[in-house]
Amino acid sequence: MAAAWLTHLSGGRVEVRSAGSAPADTVNPAAVRAMAEAGIDLSAETPKVLTADAVRASDVVITMGCGDTCPVFPGRTYLDWQLDDPAGRGVDAVRPIRDEIERRVRGLLAELLPESAKSVQSADSAQSVQSADSPKSA
């Protein structure tokens, strides 16, 4: 959900990667429904495995409970977002998680793309963000 919010809210000004340390076979259906309610379609997304190369290529790495399984490289900014895991929960329980992720993503974007730079963001200076979810997260 964090990667989807970043992609949606950044308007293409941030390169977003999403992966998990032990991803599920499919995206959590409740997360798909909750994000669809917010106008974001996750139905075609598939979970991906987190790789060291993806982390190495990122400027900011957001982790969500992957602990020691996430690779760490010098010169990267790491943010560990402690959130409830949406795995196995219904859409009613996922909505507050979705909303908290949106709040955090908006805050991150305010830091990455300050108002003065939002309208003039070149491809050369675009930020790269890796979202690394816990094994069960959507």
* CA dist., res. 113 & res. 28, Å (int): 30
Q: 129: pLDDT confidence band, cut at 50, 70 and 90?
A: low
pLDDT at 117 exceeding the cut of 50: no
pLDDT for 91 equals 97
* CA dist., res. 62 & res. 133, Å (int): 8
Q: 82: pLDDT confidence band, cut at 50, 70 and 90?
A: very high
pLDDT for 115 equals 64
Counts for the chain of helices (H) and strands (E), in that order: 5, 4
Burial class (CB in 10 A: 0-12, 13-18, 19+), 82: exposed
pLDDT for 68 equals 75
* CA dist., res. 23 & res. 63, Å (int): 13
pTM more than 0.85: no
